[in-house]
Amino acid sequence: MLMLVMGAAPILAPLIGGAVSQFAGWKALFGMLAVTSLICLVAVFRLLPETRHISSEIPGSFQVLRDRGFVGHALSGGLAYAGMFAYITGSSFVFIEVFGVPSHHFGWVFGTNAAALIASSQLNRKLLLKREVKWVLRRAFLSLALAGSFLAVGGYLNWGFWGVAVPLWAYVGILGMIYPNTTAVALQGQGARAGAASAWLGTFQFSLAGGAAWMVSWLHDGSALAMASVVGGCGISSLAVYRIVDQWGRSGSISDYLRPVGSSAGNRAVARSGAITNTTYKEGTPRSP
């Protein structure tokens, strides 16, 4: 459900934004953002009660970084997610300026990729009913690296619109299997450190994403190559990091992260949410090496 909502937003936002800017001008977009932000602020205070119990225990914010399983999954998922931001940064220029897509039609290109993200997240939910998360992640990271490689080659060899659009569509779609699973595995079993782990997870993800966006701007040469190469590099590097994490799992260093327990019925119930949760895996914090 979370990936469904996150996937719907990129579909609707460019379509609505393109229509508003066409009829009311680009300044009206900032007015819409201000009103939307105010609505969100009111909703947070009125509809979301505090769920954390007050505790005198001080969580070990930096102890999380000694956890191989957490850091490995956070980095591999963050690198994959960084490719998404490289795409967001460079796609408007590539498709509008390089490939000549009308600006009011760009939302459809963006929306098609977001639709792939939604479909992939729903497929992920189905796969988790029958397969372990490591089975899904191994194949998802490999597919992501292949899509990124084809995208980089397409940008370098000037394969045109379809040579960039198709592998980019595949890359964004595959994120629907990687992002929720790596996030859930990284946070599973953190216990009292869950807040610190979530903060570090966001720090990793958006630091890498910001670096990828900057890299697209720095490499900009008026073609699709900058965006394509950065997205491709993110896909390949995420696979390399996950291979190391997977090897740790095979050797038993982080086995608590990857060994499901409980009934198949319980696993099916968890998979309905689209990703794994703490109830699917052993309780307790994995030992740091």
- Are 171 and 147 in contact by the 8 Å Cβ rule? The answer is yes
In this prediction the pTM is 0.76
Looking at the chain, how many residues does it have? 289
pLDDT tens over the chain, length 289 residues: 665 666 567 667 777 887 888 888 888 999 999 999 999 999 999 998 877 666 655 556 778 888 888 889 999 999 999 999 999 899 989 999 999 988 778 878 888 888 898 889 889 989 999 999 999 999 999 999 999 999 999 999 999 999 999 999 999 999 999 988 998 888 887 777 778 888 898 899 899 999 999 999 999 999 999 999 999 999 999 999 999 988 876 655 554 444 443 334 444 444 444 444 433 333 333 433 3
At 261, the amino acid letter reads: V
pLDDT at residue 168, as a whole number = 95
Query: Taking Cα atoms as reference points, which of 247, 208, 250 lies closest to residue 230?
Result: 208
What is the sign of the dihedral through the CA atoms of 181, 185, 186 and 190? Answer: positive
At 125, the amino acid letter reads: R
pLDDT at residue 268, as a whole number = 46
What tens digit of pLDDT does each residue of 165-189 get?
Answer: 999 999 999 999 998 899 888 888 7
DSSP 94: I
Domains of the chain: 65-280 (1.20.1250.20)
pLDDT at residue 62, as a whole number = 79
